[in-house]
Structure 1
Amino acid sequence: MAFKKNDVKRLSHIFECSEQDVHSALYMCTAYLKENNINTYTVARTISILADKLQKTRKKKDVVEYPDFDMKHIVVRKYRADIVELYNSTIGTLKGWGWITAELQRLHNIKVSRQTIRAYIQKYQEWQLWQT
């Protein structure tokens, strides 16, 4: 049975898994539907099976814990991984501390000063030197 490419892509994007995982889950669900009498409960059960199978194949991001360096600002403590990730994406570009604060404002609706970001990144760079 062929499934629409856009639907498969959308499901793979929603569940953060590969298109092959979506295809195998869909084939399993259609086989379940063929075996049982088709009614609303069977369709609901099939959707439940599909969601369970795809959520199990969801890719997990590696969680990296960065130290907070005893900074008092709650935003730095809560979003330090995002700050480091945004800083790493600015290396080699003309983007600066202001861009990082603007991205944090856009992504998480939080306000933090450029100086706070700069202070955290400087402490992070010193810490990183000692880690190598």
Structure 2
Amino acid sequence: MTSLDDLFQAARAAQGRAYAPYSGFTVGAAVRDTDGRVHAGCNVENAAYPQGACAETGAISAMIQAGGRAIAEILVVGEGEHLVTPCGGCRQRIREFATPETPVHIAGLEGVRRTFRLDELLPFSFGPDNLADTGRGAR
């Protein structure tokens, strides 16, 4: 098993449980926290479209619920020929618990297609460090 196999398998399993009756576009995500634990999530659609939740949001929520506070790496899996990268909102959610250097692995059903650093997907991001400069940050 490679170092990404557990993330890929967790994301694929989550993708298989996605609730996507409107778009049919299922996504799974898995994060590895800094303690090495893997947490997965899937997208959950809603008839009122803006009320749905992305797979990355579910995985981050699972990490937080389990006591994790930092993302070491994340893998997102989706179908189709195009890369299924995190949406803008999820990029910011990932940034809350990751560093600019955190690997973001993008996979298709065949496996990892490309790996980005978070700062490639969200350059010049606003994060907890910005607030720490003011004395108001959580970290």
TM-score interval, smaller chain? under 0.3
Computing the radius of gyration over CA atoms, which structure comes out larger, 1 or 2? 1
Please give the TM-score of this superposition, normalised by the length of structure 2: 0.23
Give 1 or 2: higher strand fraction.
Answer: 2
Give 1 or 2: higher helix fraction.
Answer: 1
